Structure 1
Amino acid sequence: MSPTNLHCQTPLKKVDVLSQYLPGRDVYLKMESSQVTGSFKMRGIGCRARKAVENGCTHLLSCSGGNAGLATAEAARLLSVPCTVVVPQTTTQRMISRIQEKGATVIRHGDNFNTAQRKAFELVNEIKGSVYVSPYDHPDIWEGCTTVVRELSLEMPERPAVIVASVGGGGLLTGILDGLKEVGWQDVPVLAMETYGAHCFNLSMKASQIVAMEKITSIATSLGARTVTEGLMERVPHFKVMSEVVEDKAAVQSCLKFAELENVVVEPACGATLAALYSGILSRLDSEHRIPPGPAVLIVCGGTGVTLDQLQTWATQLQ
């Protein structure tokens, strides 16, 4: 019998010092970095993996050299099934080792995600009983991510004025929107943050249709989907979604500020969310009266693919 949830309920922290960046408002951090794998990915991937195993899957397959691959490996370990993760050649040995420590088999193939994904699709056809676990593009992924809003609805002392989250392929944001509808918060604005060079959602929002990026140039590789899921774009017109983009420099600097404040290292993908506060974007939206009265909630999505030394090196290079 598989466990009901493979993720944990994460802390919600009211951080008074952050109100200096958004005067007159309380600022809350939803610490998804506290998940066992260090990122929100355990919510969606845990749900997808659990349902797959309940429906007869005997082998989980993933294509990700980052947090999604790590989450799939952890889900397989908890569900007691084998796992294979296909990663591109560019994946760091540090992340490969972390995935292997969960008991998964790692296959290096190709020099980018698309090539590695094609290999994963081949393996699904070759390995009997296997299921491919997408990093973001599946209804079960979105269902798992709704749980972050369910928790907020029970933890928050009042309705949030805005929820801030990073968006890559769109799994988290799609789940957040579904969660808002579920708890009766459909009118709560959501600020979706990206970095330039990984801003396919922002481009899609401007075009009112899915836009594919030719290549990812941002260092925030966890945001590195060339397109967002169709499920997200179908939902956007029914919610108050704002899209903003920051430079890599702002994302990295925000990670370093956060490490100093909370003693937690997160990836630049998460730094994009933090930059909404540190770089004054939320303050500007407030002054433009695009945010109603009340507290701001930042989803600290986490990520374990970087070290403090790497962040400091990037900060020097991006000066």
Structure 2
Amino acid sequence: MNDFADNARATTRALRDLFAPTPLQRNAHLSERFGADIWLKREDLSPVRSYKLRGAFNAMRKALALDPTRRDFICASAGNHAQGVAFVCAHFGVRGRIFMPVTTPEQKIMKTRTFGAGTVEIVLTGDFFDETLAAARDECARTGAHFLSPFDDADVIEGQASVAVEMLDEMGRAPDRLILPVGGGGLSAGMLSYLQAVGAKTALTLVEPAGGASLTAALAHGAPTTVPITDTFVDGAAVARIGNLTFAALRDVAPQDVLIAPENRICITIQEMLNVEGIVLEPAGALSVDALGQIADQIAGQTVVCVTSGGNFDFERLPEVKERARKWQGLKKYFILRLPQRPGALRDFLDMLGPGDDIARFEYLKKNSRNFGSVLIGIETDDPANFDRIVERVTARGFGFRDISQDEVLSDFLI
């Protein structure tokens, strides 16, 4: 066992002052569905409902070991890292200043403040995270406070490796395959480094959201590169640029072992885990489970561990989750209907719908001319094939009918 493995095990022992190992649970539903022995490493059941507590604890522990008089720490985060830092600030009795974007939901601010138990100050600054991060770093430079990175830090990576230490201890052996979400890379870098250090022969599958696939881009370029964030739904993993230190640990991962998960498909997984298993997962926390379907042909008969990395889900997002899920399943679409301005025109359109079709949205937009008006209409159905029938009937009647479901600009503006 090398130094990294020894340090990771020491960190794991130290973490027991904060919380017991998170459960490693066999999931009968997923095991039966995929014909494999599937286990969930439940990081969503940590005290702050994510693994981020581990890295924050280790980084702060190491900083205090070097300078026991240090009492000022700063981080920038709008999510799980902020809550982890707040928790360990309360544990060590030090002052924390947590920089968050002005747009951060009040619920996240309140949770962070609660975990800090009077030891943290919330600083709201910047409309975007990059502005918030710059302000936090500037404040560190000005005051000499210690900056706690969310992922690109050796002590943070070492702290996240404790998930792998617990997994092997709880299972008693190495799994055939480990599936991990990837954002900045701290969790995957830590767990992979530990498995390599102890000689575990475990296949690795990494998953990142389509709206921020920074590891895929880094592997293609041979170095970290900045990618545009095209969808922020998976806010815990949609990172524009993977860390330099984390990529150093991941640079030899085969590109085919990095999967990209569409955000709308992830919503189906969130719904299924909640409705079938009663497990609340945030979008990033559902990534590893969501990937099972993509590699179903590779995992039959294997022992597989999925790390459910977080459960900080705001239930006010459930309508959005349902909407995205139905879009992915092809059961809901939005159209612009050009409706003739004559008596009976609307009834004519309604008669074209079948018994499994339902109007979920109907909004008169504007009158284009004396003879026609435009309507935004959302239709839900019980079979995706029904939409072909609807379009065929409407077109045959000469009504203007435009599908805007995949038009991001129009959808954002109108829906």
Provide TM-score, normalisation by structure 2.
Answer: 0.70
- State how far apart, in whole Å, the 2-side matches of 1:237 and 1:194 are: 15
- State how far apart, in whole Å, the 2-side matches of 1:121 and 1:232 are: 20
Letter matched to residue 298 of structure 1: C
Structure 2: unaligned runs, 5 residues or longer: 1-12, 328-415
1:127 partnered with 2:140: no
**1:307 maps to what in 2?**
314
Map 1:22-61; keep pairs closer than 5 Å: 22-23=34-35, 25-56=36-67, 57-61=70-74
- Could you say what secondary structure the match of 1:190 adopts? strand
Report which of the two structures shows the higher radius of gyration computed on alpha carbons. Answer: 2
- State how far apart, in whole Å, the 2-side matches of 1:201 and 1:215 are: 13
| Kept after mapping to 1: 8 A contact 2:41/2:308 | yes
| Kept after mapping to 2: 8 A contact 1:189/1:239 | no
**2:177 maps to what in 1?**
162
Deviation of 1:49 after TM superposition, in Å, equals 1.3
Structure 1: unaligned runs, 5 residues or longer: 288-292
Q: Which region of structure 1 is more displaced relative to structure 2, 230-239 or 134-143?
A: 230-239
**1:207 maps to what in 2?**
221
The change in CA–CA distance for 1:53 and 1:7 in structure 2 (over 3 A counts) is farther
Deviation of 1:114 after TM superposition, in Å, equals 1.0
**1:9 maps to what in 2?**
21
- State how far apart, in whole Å, the 1-side matches of 2:131 and 2:81 are: 17
Give a deviation string over 1:200-229, Cα, whole Å, max 9, x none: 112222333322113352311111221111
The change in CA–CA distance for 1:149 and 1:13 in structure 2 (over 3 A counts) is same
Give a deviation string over 1:67-124, Cα, whole Å, max 9, x none: 0011001110000001110001221110001111223211111111111011111211
**1:198 maps to what in 2?**
212
Letter matched to residue 313 of structure 1: E
- Choose from 142, 146, 150 the match for 2:165: 150
Larger fraction in strand: 2
Provide TM-score, normalisation by structure 1.
Answer: 0.90
The change in CA–CA distance for 1:239 and 1:77 in structure 2 (over 3 A counts) is same
| Kept after mapping to 2: 8 A contact 1:177/1:239 | no
- Could you say what secondary structure the match of 1:297 adopts? strand
- State how far apart, in whole Å, the 2-side matches of 1:255 and 1:65 are: 21
- State how far apart, in whole Å, the 1-side matches of 2:277 and 2:321 are: 20
- State how far apart, in whole Å, the 2-side matches of 1:258 and 1:105 are: 35
**1:290 maps to what in 2?**
none
The change in CA–CA distance for 1:138 and 1:7 in structure 2 (over 3 A counts) is farther
Letter matched to residue 114 of structure 1: D
Letter matched to residue 312 of structure 1: P
Give a deviation string over 1:127-186, Cα, whole Å, max 9, x none: 35x21101111000010011111111111144311101100000101101111023221x
Deviation of 1:261 after TM superposition, in Å, equals 3.4
Give a deviation string over 1:29-70, Cα, whole Å, max 9, x none: 000011100001011111111111222231111100100011
Number of aligned residues:
307
- State how far apart, in whole Å, the 1-side matches of 2:174 and 2:14 are: 28
Identity of aligned pairs, percent?
Answer: 22
- State how far apart, in whole Å, the 2-side matches of 1:297 and 1:107 are: 38
- Could you say what secondary structure the match of 1:316 adopts? helix
Which one has more relative contact order, counting CA pairs under 8 Å at least 6 apart?
A: 1
1:171 partnered with 2:186: yes
Query: Structure 1 residue runs of 4+, over 3 Å off?
Result: 237-241, 284-287
